């Protein structure tokens, strides 16, 4: 074998040895993932991952008094809600109804107020539709005898007669006729107190 050939063989052996050493060397440890640092420390730039005492944040409730569970404050006598519950469960319709049968209003405005309460009830309880039953039943539902205990008509409203019926400014009970689950005719018999005469006032909310 010539010296030149032996030289190149030695070079190749040396290169192979270096390559085998390079491939077999131990790899450096992988860096710790960023999730190892608590989220609060990442936000503040603090890399100290020492344990901290967990604390429950205190959130102030800005929504006012807690709602009363449905039926919890229903009175046994009139099927409505107590005065304290009524104040907490007040709705825009209940405030609107405060002027029902007011001397400065007309009969047509009164019927419109009653119709708005029925429409609001139907929009909230879409699975139920209109309040059902006669005047007494519908008045009780508007006073709070409903699945959520919502008050659309305050129980001590002067338009509610001793028999629990909602009455117009002439003292006659409003007449409710449900044509369907989503259509209700609200009628006042008018000054003559007789239904289906020319002085009747009706609304279909």
CATH of the domain at 186: 3.30.700
Render 128-184 in DSSP notation, one character per residue: T-S--SSHHHHHHHHHT-STT---SS-TT-TTB-TTS-BB-TTSPBPEEEEEETTEE
The vertex-145 CA angle with 91 and 66, nearest 5°, equals: 50
User: Shortest CA distance to 134 belongs to which of 159, 164, 154?
Assistant: 164
Question: Rounded to two decimals, what is the model's pTM?
Answer: 0.57
Q: Is residue 62 assigned to a domain? A: no
Give the tens place of pLDDT for each residue, 82-97.
444 444 445 676 677 8
Q: Structural domain tally of the chain?
A: 1
Q: Is residue 29 assigned to a domain? A: no
Give the tens place of pLDDT for each residue, 141-163.
999 999 998 888 889 999 999 99
Q: Is residue 37 assigned to a domain? A: no
pLDDT, residue 47, reads 44
Q: Is residue 75 assigned to a domain? A: no
Distance separating alpha carbons of residues 127 and 107, to the nearest angstrom: 31
101 is in which domain, residue-wise?
83-203
Q: Is residue 43 assigned to a domain? A: no
Q: Is residue 167 assigned to a domain? A: yes
Q: Is residue 32 assigned to a domain? A: no
């Amino acid at each position: 074998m010539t010296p030149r050939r032996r030289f190149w063989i030695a070079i190749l052996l040396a290169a192979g040895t270096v390559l085998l050493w390079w491939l077999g060397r131990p790899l450096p440890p992988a860096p710790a993932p960023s999730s190892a640092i608590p989220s609060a420390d990442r936000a503040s730039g603090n890399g100290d991952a020492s344990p901290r005492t967990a604390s429950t944040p205190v959130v102030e409730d800005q929504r006012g008094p807690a709602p009363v569970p449905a039926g919890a404050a229903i009175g046994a006598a009139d099927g409505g809600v107590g005065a304290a519950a009524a104040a907490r469960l007040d709705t825009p319709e209940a405030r609107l109804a405060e002027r029902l049968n007011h001397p400065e209003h007309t009969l047509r405005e009164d019927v419109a107020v009653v119709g708005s309460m029925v429409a609001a009830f139907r929009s909230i309880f879409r699975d139920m539709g209109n309040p059902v039953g006669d005047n007494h039943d519908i008045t009780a539902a508007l006073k709070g005898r409903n699945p959520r205990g919502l008050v659309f008509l305050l129980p001590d409203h002067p338009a509610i007669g001793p028999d629990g019926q909602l009455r117009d400014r002439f003292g006659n009970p409003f007449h409710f006729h449900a044509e369907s689950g989503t259509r209700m005719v609200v009628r006042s018999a008018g000054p003559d107190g007789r239904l289906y005469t020319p002085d009747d006032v009706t609304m279909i909310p």
